[in-house]
Amino acid sequence: MTLLSVEGLHAHYGKSHVLRGVSFDLAPAEMIALLGRNGSGRSTTMKAIMGMVPVTGGSIRLLDANLAGQPPHRINRAGIAYVPEERLPFDLLTVEENLIAGLSAARTGQLAWTIEEMYDYFPRLCERRSTKAGSLSGGEQQMLTLCRSLLGQPRVILIDEPTEGLAPQIVEHMVDVICDINRRGVAVVLVEQKMTIAKRICARSLVMGHGAIAFDGPTEALVDDASIRRQWLEVA
């Protein structure tokens, strides 16, 4: 069964053709890594799926619904959540107000995520529940944005560079939380720079280059293929 299907996706920034026929499928409760050099199209793919970059060709299907061309709020309501690299909490709201703003009712057949579970994942957020989000550290803002997105009860969560700029101990905890989210049935597309993380937690990886998918297969096969890594991942 396919949960999310991206087929022949094209997108432009003005006259610049940035996505060139991106295609991949995501199964229910699957977690995949989306790898590639800076500028390869990874973040643009996430934003195009989320309706934040206009799609100029192709389809984005969540189960039976074609979401290409829909505004972000409708895509979110359909069951896709997005955690941007920029984090973007509501700065003037407190931690708890941010979480309440993200809270939606559970979907039929799904367990509901709760604010209490978010505090269990990240006790630091509970300690700072009355603090304005704009006063949080970068790591705390990353935690908050992930939790706010999860409280929308998504079927799929797109997470862009969740470990970028975080201290090593926070990276380990963030990875553990993402794995637990996936174990509980949420499908994950993870944009990640660190090949070591992809190898640890994603059985399947996609590699992007020049706005297209250059590799789609088992992460172990990617680890073993030095030519693919040299061509599309390693920086000279």
User: In what helix (H) or strand (E) does residue 48 lie, and over which residues does it extend?
Assistant: helix 42-49
Q: Could you give the domains of the chain? A: 1-76+197-236 (3.40.50.300)
- What pLDDT score does 10 carry? 97
The β-bridge partners of 33 are: 190, 205
Q: Which two tokens stand for residue 188?
A: 């994950």
Residue with tokens 């993380």: 197
- What pLDDT score does 110 carry? 75
- What pLDDT score does 166 carry? 87
- What pLDDT score does 60 carry? 98
- What pLDDT score does 63 carry? 95
Task: Tell me the CA distances in angstroms from 99 to 72, 116, 148, one per residue in order.
Answer: 19, 10, 5
- What pLDDT score does 236 carry? 57
Residues 19, 99: Cα–Cα separation, whole Å: 33
Residues 181, 187: Cα–Cα separation, whole Å: 8
The model's pTM: 0.94
- What pLDDT score does 50 carry? 97
Which amino acid, residue 20?
A: R
Q: What is the pLDDT along the chain (236 residues), one digit of tens a residue?
A: 899 999 999 999 988 999 999 999 999 999 999 999 989 999 999 999 999 999 999 999 999 899 999 999 999 999 999 999 888 899 999 999 999 999 998 877 777 999 999 999 999 999 999 999 999 999 999 999 999 999 999 999 999 999 888 888 999 999 999 999 999 999 999 998 888 999 999 999 999 999 999 999 999 999 899 898 888 888 65
- What pLDDT score does 34 carry? 97
The β-bridge partners of 204 are: 32, 218
**CA atoms within 13 Å, Cβ hemisphere of 31:** 22
Q: Judge whether 216 and 208 are in contact, CB under 8 Å.
A: no
